[in-house]
């Protein structure tokens, strides 16, 4: 009896025929509270087997879109090399006409993906769903870490928009990047490609408790879906999903939520408009 490698639901297409490429980055290097994101890509893949590939919300089926799963990149190297490796892979995928879905890992990986997307496309804007601003100049002596990732990414893109933030370290609350989901249409440029970064702590922790830095309050599942709807009017070219901490949710509901959001996002951005 043969056993197939663990892969994301319906990711059964050869690379040449797939529209979506799943890539895991089990990075856990700069976490400051609860650990576990290194286990997240495997947990999300496993959880995806518990849900269906059809989206009743966006009336689309993953099997009709076409996915491949490229496995995980090597994270057993210095952080700068991990980010460079992810950047190169993201650039190659976009140049090949694929839609990259990056499963983290800690939020720091977004910087690598953003750099790769910018290298491939020339222009880019970033939409981040996150409970925290992640706009520190440095944290615990590090300029590149999970607490500075949106500051570093903002230096790479034309525009940064953050939805769901409710935890701030100081004056950055006055930055013009924080918006409500209903304001997205006015704050993003329809002419510039969008990279979406979904930090699971953007959701209310009562819905998704298995994250590295839970923050009371937050977005409902329905509100995240509405963000996906709003983004249908823009050219979303790829996404990352980060900061799942499987050890802190023995029920597995957080991993299932992560997998389901990946499915809904793919169906929202790559299915024909209804």
Please check whether residue 169 lies inside any domain of the structure.
yes
61 Cβ contact list (under 8 Å, min separation 6): 53, 54, 55, 267
Phi, psi at residue 64, to the nearest 5°? Answer: -85, -15
Give percent helix, percent strand, percent coil of the chain, each to the nearest 5.
35, 20, 45
Task: Convert 165-192 into a string of H (helix), E (strand) and C (coil).
Answer: CCECCCHHHHCCCEECHHHHHHHCCCCC
Q: Which of 213, 258, 272, 211 is nearest to 59 (CA)?
A: 272
Residue 161 lies in a domain: yes
Is-contact 204 220, C-beta < 8 A? yes
CATH of the domain at 153: 3.40.800.10
How many domains does one find in the chain? 1
The 10s digit of each residue's pLDDT in 217-272 is 999 999 999 999 999 999 999 999 999 999 999 999 999 999 999 999 999 999 86
Judge whether 153 lies within some domain. yes
From 262, 221, 249, select the one nearest 37 (Cα to Cα): 249
DSSP-derived letter for residue 244 is B
**197: Cα within 13 Å, side-chain hemisphere:** 33
Q: Quick check: is 203 in a domain?
A: yes
Q: Per residue of the chain (274 residues), give pLDDT as tens.
A: 344 578 999 899 999 999 999 999 999 998 888 999 999 999 999 999 999 999 999 999 999 999 999 999 999 999 999 999 999 999 999 999 999 999 999 999 999 999 999 999 999 999 999 999 999 999 988 999 998 999 999 999 999 999 999 998 887 777 789 999 999 999 999 999 999 999 999 999 999 999 999 999 999 999 999 999 999 999 999 999 999 999 999 999 999 999 999 999 999 999 865 4
Distance CA(261)–CA(267), nearest Å, equals 10
Q: What is the DSSP letter of 193?
A: -
- What pLDDT, on a 0 to 100 scale, did the predictor assign at position 274? 45
Q: Give the range of the structural domain holding residue 97, as residue numbers without chain letter.
A: 15-270
What's the pLDDT score for residue 32?
85
Distance CA 121, CA 144 (A): 23
In the chain, what's the furthest Cα-to-Cα distance?
60
Task: Note whether residue 122 is domain-resident.
Answer: yes
Taking the whole predicted model, whether its pTM rises above 0.85 is answered as yes
Q: How far apart are CA 206 and CA 41, in angstroms?
A: 22
Would you say residue 31 lies in a domain?
yes
- 10 in any annotated domain: no
């Amino acid at each position: 009896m043969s056993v197939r490698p663990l892969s994301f639901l319906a990711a059964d297409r050869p690379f040449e025929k797939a529209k979506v490429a799943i890539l895991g980055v089990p990075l856990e290097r700069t976490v400051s509270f609860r650990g576990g994101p290194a286990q997240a890509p495997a947990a999300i893949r496993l959880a995806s087997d518990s849900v269906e590939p059809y989206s009743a919300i966006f009336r689309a089926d993953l099997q009709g879109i076409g996915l491949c799963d490229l496995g995980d990149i090597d994270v057993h190297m210095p952080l700068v090399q991990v980010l460079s490796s992810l950047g190169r892979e993201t650039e190659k995928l976009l140049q090949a006409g694929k839609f990259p879905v990056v499963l983290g890992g800690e939020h720091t990986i977004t910087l690598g993906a953003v750099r790769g997307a910018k290298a491939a496309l020339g222009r880019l804007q970033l939409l981040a769903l996150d409970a925290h601003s992640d706009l520190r100049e440095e944290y615990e002596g590090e300029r590149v870490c999970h607490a500075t990732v949106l500051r570093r990414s903002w230096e790479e893109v034309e525009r940064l928009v953050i939805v769901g933030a409710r935890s701030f370290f100081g004056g950055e609350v006055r930055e013009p990047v924080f918006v409500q989901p209903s304001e997205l249409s006015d704050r993003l440029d329809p002419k510039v490609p969008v990279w979406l970064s979904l930090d699971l702590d953007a959701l209310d922790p009562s819905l998704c408790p298995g994250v590295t830095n839970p923050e009371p309050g937050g977005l409902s599942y329905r509100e995240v879906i509405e963000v996906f709807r709003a983004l249908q009017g823009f050219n979303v070219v790829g996404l990352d999903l980060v900061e799942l901490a499987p050890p802190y949710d023995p029920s597995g509901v957080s991993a299932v939520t992560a997998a389901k959001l990946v499915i809904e996002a793919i169906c929202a951005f790559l299915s024909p408009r209804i």
